[in-house]
Amino acid sequence: MAPHRILFVCLGNICRSPMAEGVFRRVVAEEGLTDSFVIDSAGLGDWHIGQAPDHRAQKAARTRGIDISGQSARQVVDEDFDRFDLLLAMDGSNYDVLKARAPHEARAKIRPFLDYAPHAGTKDVPDPFFGGAEGFDHALDLIEAAAHGLLASLAGEEKVRAKRGA
Ligand code: 4NP
């Protein structure tokens, strides 16, 4: 598989996008494809720069066997629009802000993450920050579905490219 550079984006980079980064890293590792990916996450806001993921996000991920404790929040920077092949927004608001900020030529790289979970019944991973533990669990359910859908989609594109001999 050709290298794919994926950036998960939410508001604070302490809840949803760190969980998405952790889940997608695991999905990719399970398929033995770690070396084919660059995976990162970032936030639109600057409030939590340098912080580890929210302890509730860490706990919810740990319950599913995923350790995200080593991550450190950072803010989206202009170079991200060049460095990554796909910038995946956790909700519609994140999507709108990213799209407005992106240089014209990078706009097509920005997608709602839940486009890859068409059966989820929603386009948004709801922000769990101001709620309880169940919000983190629900977010993880959506994220896991989209993470599998994303890998399947990329693998499908790869097959088409290989068939074309590209
Ligand atoms: P996230 O959640 O975007 O999933 O990381 C949030 C974290 C912090 C804030 C908002 C959302 N905040 O307002 O500080």
Q: What is the pLDDT of residue 110?
A: 98
Picking from 102, 86, 99, 73, the residue whose alpha carbon sits closest to that of residue 11 is: 73
Q: What is the pLDDT of residue 20?
A: 99
Q: Which atom of ligand 1 is nearest to the CA of 18?
A: 5
10-residue block means of pLDDT along the chain (166 residues)? Answer: 87 98 98 97 98 98 98 98 98 98 97 98 97 96 98 87 76
Q: What is the pLDDT of residue 160?
A: 75
Q: What is the pLDDT of residue 3?
A: 67
Distance of CA 74 to the CA centre of its chain: 14
Q: What is the 3-state secondary structure (H, E, C) of the chain?
A: CCCEEEEEEECCCCCHHHHHHHHHHHHHHHCCCHHHEEEEEEECCCCCCCCCCCHHHHHHHHHCCCCCCCCCCCECCCCHHHHCCEEEECCHHHHHHHHHHCCHHHHHHEEEHHHHCCCCCCCCCCCCCCCCHHHHHHHHHHHHHHHHHHHHHHHHHHHHHHHHCC
Q: Whose CA is nearest to atom 9 of ligand 1?
A: 12
Q: What is the pLDDT of residue 157?
A: 83
111 is catalytic: no
40 is catalytic: no
Interval between CA 46 and ligand 1 midpoint (Å): 10
10 lines ligand 1 (CB under 6 A): yes
Q: What is the pLDDT of residue 11?
A: 98
By most ligand atoms within 8 Å of CB, the mutation choice from 127, 138, 142, 143 for ligand 1 is: 127
Q: Which atom of ligand 1 is nearest to the CA of 10?
A: 3
